[in-house]
Amino acid sequence: MQPQKHRQGLLLTLAAILTGTAILAGVGIYVALKSVEKPLSSSESNTSMLQPDSQVPVETIAPSVLESPASQLNTAQITPAPYTSKPAKNLGGVNWEGKNLQGMNLSRANLGGANLKNADLNGVDLSDANLSGADLSNANLTNANLRNADLRGANLSNANLQQVNLNGAKLDGANLTGTVMP
């Protein structure tokens, strides 16, 4: 009977070691993930904002939009539309709440679902950008270029849109409550 007790003791020791290892690995993964999503400290000023490329999780080419009826499509002939300028940035869902983004060039960027609440977007080029579903409430968009921008479903409540270029912008379903316009 002695060997069976010895075996049980070894099994309990092994189980304790494996449990401790699993817990340490879980804590390590948790700490690593928390450090990735660590927000900027309050001591950092808005003027020392990171360059646009430094917060981009993924850089992709915006998908092309096919205007042919589905019955006429031949999947072997589908090719992406050529770009004459730099491909668009994928910033969908980025959290730039309260950030100073004055003068940035975000033309053709994908900012769908982004949080730009209380952001200073004075003079920002957002031409041909996708801002569908973005939160731009209380944002300062004075002198911004929103030509051909997709703002469908965006929240622009109480935003400042003075001297904004909205030529060709899509505003279907956008919340414009309290928006300041010229």
Question: pLDDT value at position 126?
Answer: 93
Positive or negative CA dihedral for 131, 137, 140, 142?
positive
Place of tokens 């290892």: 21
Amino acid at 39: P
Quote the CA–CA distance of 47 and 103 in Å, as a whole number.
12
Place of tokens 């009977």: 1
CB 162 within 8 A of CB 180: yes
Question: pLDDT value at position 178?
Answer: 92
70, two tokens: 């589905």
Question: pLDDT value at position 39?
Answer: 52
Question: pLDDT value at position 46?
Answer: 45
Quote the CA–CA distance of 121 and 79 in Å, as a whole number.
35
Question: pLDDT value at position 77?
Answer: 45
Question: pLDDT value at position 4?
Answer: 81
Question: pLDDT value at position 64?
Answer: 40
What are the pLDDT digits (tens) for 1-25?
Answer: 577 888 888 888 888 898 888 888 8
CB 75 within 8 A of CB 96: no
Measure the CA angle with vertex 154, ends 123 and 128; round to 5°.
50
Question: pLDDT value at position 54?
Answer: 44
**Could you say which residues of the chain have pLDDT below 70?**
1, 36-88, 182
Which CATH fold topology does 91-182 show?
Pectate Lyase C-like (2.160.20)
80, two tokens: 């992406």
Where exactly are the structural domains of the chain? 91-182
